[in-house]
Amino acid sequence: MAVNAPALVWFREDLRLDDNPALTAASESGRPIVAIYLLDDVSPGVRPLGGAARWWLHQSLTALSRSLGDLGVQLVLRRGAAGDEIPRLVQELGAEAVFWNRRYGAAERQVDSGIKAGLRADGVEVTSFAAALLFEPWTITTGSGTPYSVFTPFWRACLSSPPPRAPLDEPETLTGWERNVATDLLETWELEPTRPDWAGGLREAWQPGEASAHRLLNEFLTEKLAAYDDERDLPAQSATSGLSPHLRWGEISPHRVWAETDLVRRGASSREAAGASRFLTELGWREFCYHVLFAAPDLATSNWRSSFDAFPWPPLNEEALAAWQQGRTGIPIVDAGMRELWRTGAMHNRVRMVVASFLTKNLLIDWREGERWFWDTLVDADSAANGFNWQWVAGSGADAAPYFRVFNPELQAKKFDPHGEYIRQNVPEWGTDAYPEPIVDLAETRKAALAAYDRVKRAA
Ligand code: FAD
C-alpha cells in the first residue's frame, strides 16, 4: 500500500453520511478519503434525470458537500460516462480502494460491474454494499425460486426473513486526503432552472438534504403516526411523512426509517402501532417496486404484462395530454393534483392514482406519456416506483389494479376531499366562470375504455 494512497467513495443515490456502509468501510480502511459524485448523463441506458430531480440534486449535493467538508473530506464533482471517469479518477489519485453502495437498474448494474472488473484487474480493491433497500431483491424468492409478482406474499416473505440490519451511525470523524483534487463547479452543471426559474414552488415546499430528512422522520413519528392509518388518503391533510424524495436520493436510509419506526412501535398506543405497521408496509411497497424492477428492468417503458401490448391506444390526443399536464381538464380533483405537481414537484398518493386513472382510462392516453411527465416533474421521480405505479394504475403491471377499476374522479373527490379543501388550495378559480368545462364525459369515456380493454382480455 502506497503511503497515504486514498480510498475513493463514489456517492450515487446515497447522499448521506448516516448509515452509509460505503463511507463507513472507507473510513475503517484507515485510508484518507476522497468522495466523488459523477453526473453521468451519457452512459447507454442510464436515464437522464428530469427537471425537478435535477433541481433537487443541486441542493442535495450542496448539503452533502458541506457536511463532508465539515469533516475534512472533499466532494469532487465530475461529469461523463462512469466507465471512463471513475477509472480515470482512480488513476489520477493513485487510489487503491473504491467503495460504493449498490444500484438496482440493469444499465447501472452493468456499468458498475464493468468498472469493478476493470479496477480489480488493475489491482484496485473494490467493495460494494447494500444500502438503498431493506431486502436485496434477489434474496426474496417464491418457493420455486422465482421473483414475486404479488405484493402480499412478497412482503410476508420479507417479514419472515432475517430482519434488516441495524443502521450504522454517522462517522464522528473522517480523514480527508491532504491534496486538493480538481473538481467541476456545481453551478456549471446547470441543474437549476434559470430562464425561466420555475423552481420557486419547489423551494417553498422542500428543503433537500440529510438534516431535513431526519427532521421530517422525527416530526412524522412524534406528530403524525397515530393518525396515519386513518388520514393518509386525505390530500388536504399533511398526514404522510413527505420522505419520498429524501429516500429517492438516499438522504435517509430505509434502515434508519425502519429502526426508528420500530422503536416507536414498541412502546406505542394501539393507534400509533397501527400507524407504524401501515407506514412500514408503505416502505414495503417501495421494496416491492425495486424487486419488480430488478426482474423486469424496462419497467418504465414496457408493459410488465405482455398481453397489454394488444391494447388499442388511439393516436395520441396532444391537446388532451396538454390539458392534463397543465391542470385544465375541467375535472377539479385532477386539475388540483396536476397543479400541485407543477408547483411543488410532488402530488399526494391518492391523487396520483386518480390523475393516472384519468389519463389512461378517461383520456385513453398510453401510461408511458404519464410516466414521462411524472419523471420530469416529480422531485421523488424514481426509476422503480414511477414505472411500477403507473403500470399498477393502468392495469398492465405487477399486482395491478384490474383495468376495469376506473376511478371516478368525482366520487374520489367526495370521499377523500369532502369539503373541497385540497381542490381550493390548488384551483382557486374552481366554481367560478373562469374554470373550464370538463374536456370529456366521464361515463362515456369509461365505457370506451372498457371496450378497448376487451381487446387485451381476448389477447391474454
Ligand atoms: P408516505 O405515505 O409517508 O410513505 C412512506 C414511504 O413509502 C414513501 O416515502 C415512499 O418511499 C414509500 N411509498 C409509499 N407509497 C408507495 C408506493 N405506492 N410505491 C412505492 N413506494 C411507496 N413514489 C416515489 O417515491 N417515486 C415515484 O416516482 C412515484 N411515482 C408514482 C406514480 C404514480 C402514478 C403513483 C400512483 C404513485 C407513485 N409513487 C411514487 C408512490 C407514492 O405516491 C409516493 O411514494 C408518496 O406519495 C410519497 O409521499 P410520502 O413520502 O409522504 O409517503
Residue 35's φ and ψ, nearest 5 degrees, are -110, 145
| Helices (H) then strands (E): counts for the chain | 19, 5
Contact 79, 57 (CB under 8 A): no
Please give the distance, rounded to the nearest whole angstrom, from the Cα atom of residue 244 to the centre of ligand 1. Answer: 6
Query: Helix, strand, or coil here: 34?
Result: strand
Return the pLDDT at 110.
97
Single out the catalytic residue among 136, 192, 198, 313: 313
189 catalytic per annotation? no
Mean pLDDT of 21-48: 96
Q: What strands lie across the sheet with 75-79, from one edge to the other? A: 75-79, 33-39, 7-11, 97-101, 125-129
Residue 122's φ and ψ, nearest 5 degrees, are -90, 5
349 catalytic per annotation? yes
Q: pLDDT class for 281, splitting at 50, 70, 90?
A: very high
Return the pLDDT at 404.
82
Please give the distance, rounded to the nearest whole angstrom, from the Cα atom of residue 352 to the centre of ligand 1. Answer: 9
Tens digits of residue pLDDT in 224-248: 999 999 999 999 999 999 999 999 9
258 catalytic per annotation? no
1-15, 34-48, 114-128, 415-429: range with lowest mean pLDDT: 1-15
Cα(284)–Cα(278) distance, integer angstroms: 9
Return the pLDDT at 158.
98
Q: List residues near ligand 1 (CB under 6 A).
A: 232, 240-244, 247-248, 282-283, 285-286, 289, 349, 352-353, 356, 374, 378, 380-382, 385-386, 389-390, 393
Whats the size of the chain, residue-wise? 460
Cα(32)–Cα(339) distance, integer angstroms: 48
Cα(78)–Cα(184) distance, integer angstroms: 6
Tens digits of residue pLDDT in 179-223: 999 999 999 999 999 889 999 999 999 999 999 999 999 999 999
> Bridge partners of 100?
10, 128
Return the pLDDT at 455.
81
Please give the distance, rounded to the nearest whole angstrom, from the Cα atom of residue 390 to the centre of ligand 1. Answer: 11
Tens digits of residue pLDDT in 110-134: 999 999 999 999 999 999 999 999 9
Single out the catalytic residue among 367, 373, 375, 392: 367
Please give the distance, rounded to the nearest whole angstrom, from the Cα atom of residue 133 to the centre of ligand 1. Answer: 15
The answer, yes or no, to whether residue 284 has pLDDT greater than 60, is yes
Q: What nine digits make up the cell of 336?
A: 388540483
231 catalytic per annotation? no
Query: Helix, strand, or coil here: 77?
Result: strand
Q: pLDDT class for 2, splitting at 50, 70, 90?
A: low
Atom of ligand 1 lying closest to residue 375 CA: 28
Neighbours of 318 (CB within 10 A): 10
CA–centroid distance for 402 within its chain = 24
Q: pLDDT class for 268, splitting at 50, 70, 90?
A: confident
Q: What nine digits make up the cell of 97?
A: 480502494
Statement: the pTM of the whole predicted model exceeds 0.95 = yes
Mean pLDDT of 311-321: 97
Nearest to 321, CA basis, from 377, 364, 357: 364
- ipTM for the predicted complex: 0.99
Instruction: State what percent of residues in the chain have pLDDT above 90.
Output: 93
Cα(73)–Cα(8) distance, integer angstroms: 11
Q: pLDDT class for 405, splitting at 50, 70, 90?
A: confident
20 catalytic per annotation? no
Contact 93, 6 (CB under 8 A): yes
Return the pLDDT at 432.
97
Q: What nine digits make up the cell of 350?
A: 391518492
138 catalytic per annotation? no
Strands 125-129 and 97-101: parallel
In 3-state terms, the chain is what percent helix, strand and coil (to 5)?
Answer: 50, 5, 40
